[in-house]
Structure 1
Amino acid sequence: MKKTFLTAVAIAAVASTAAIAQDYSLNPNFGTYSLSPGFLPDPSEVNIVAGGSINASRLGGSCAGNISNAPDVRLQWSGGRMTIGARSGSDTTLVVNAPDGSWYCNDDANGLDPAMVFNQGGQYDIWVGTYNGGTASATLYVTEY
């Protein structure tokens, strides 16, 4: 399912080593999606509920906010440069398990919204957290811009 996304400001992703990893083997809360370079419309988006009961800081590095145990979305990406980000009226964070098994986290790339740039194809398991706890409506997006 593809929907229109807002364009994110390109930023560098910051890797963290997960001492205690989230369970990316669980079924995603809001579905699994496949995208290929040149997808339309661009950006593509999914409305989700961000947050959860797990403190993302346990993953180490720059991870922050509260996330769920299962990923919010699983993305199968067939390659090329893309940005994963989230928009919300609340302060949100982003946690991504990349195809190489590395964990990446971001907070406040675009105001209070997170975004990260990736350049490899494969499976991305994505969590959108809430910085101050609880849950919030959010839009997770992917763009090639």
Structure 2
Amino acid sequence: MKTTVSMRLGAAVAACTMLAGGPALAQDASLDPNFGSVSLRAGFTPDPMVVRIAAGGNINVNDASSLGGQCVGMITDAPDYRIHYTAQPGVRLTIRIRSQADTTLVVNGPDGQWYCNDDIGSSINPGVLYRTPRSGVYDIWVGTYGSDPAPAEIRITEME
């Protein structure tokens, strides 16, 4: 299932969803991330930065959020990962997920907006591209369609 918005991950990438609104009920960005955090400055190396996690959780983000029903997947309350990012003009930031399972992505950006994606292109992997990223905190949740956790990688890059 694809969500809709105006952002694109290049020619082969499907649309992502950007949603504004109040805080989501399922996602609690005040909690410590399940798999840690990192501080990155534009031009970071290695690029991509890869973080291995277990995707999924016991909360259906579609039912338990105030995101207008646009986000999908089973997630945890706490973010899976947190990025403290220092942006630079002209440098894009992409957050993608790689997994053998069908995963979903929910990101709370430093602008307070919620970004959701299910599949990009013909892939079952999600991603969000920030063409003009802001400096600040990006909280990331990686969901699955089932209740079982799935091995996944969060791939953070400025090269796409």
- TM-score bracket for the superposition, by shorter chain length: 0.7 to 0.9
69, 76, 79: which one aligns with 1:68:
76
Structure 1 residues 135 and 21: alpha-carbon distance in aligned structure 2, compared to 1, 3 A threshold: closer
- TM-score, scaled relative to structure 1: 0.87
Structure 1 residues 139 and 19: alpha-carbon distance in aligned structure 2, compared to 1, 3 A threshold: closer
Post-superposition CA distance 1:71-126 (Å, at most 9, x none): 00010010141000110010000000100111110001150000001221210000
Q: Which runs of 5+ in 2 are unaligned?
A: 1-8
Distance 1:69 1:141 in 2: 21
Letter in 1 for 2:129: V
RMSD: 1.6
Q: Which runs of 5+ in 1 are unaligned?
A: 1-8
Aligned twin of 1:89? 100
- The residue correspondences of 1:1-145 to structure 2 (distance < 5 A) are 9-10=9-10, 11=13, 13-16=16-19, 17=21, 18=23, 20-57=25-62, 58-59=64-65, 60-61=67-68, 62-79=70-87, 80-110=91-121, 111-118=123-130, 119-145=133-159
Distance 1:112 1:71 in 2: 21
Structure 1 residues 19 and 25: alpha-carbon distance in aligned structure 2, compared to 1, 3 A threshold: closer
Q: Find the residue that maps to 1:90 and give its secondary structure.
A: coil
- TM-score, scaled relative to structure 2: 0.79
* Contact persistence 2:26–2:76 (CA under 8 A): no
* Contact persistence 2:26–2:77 (CA under 8 A): no
Post-superposition CA distance 1:119-143 (Å, at most 9, x none): 2121000000002332100001100
Distance 1:46 1:19 in 2: 24
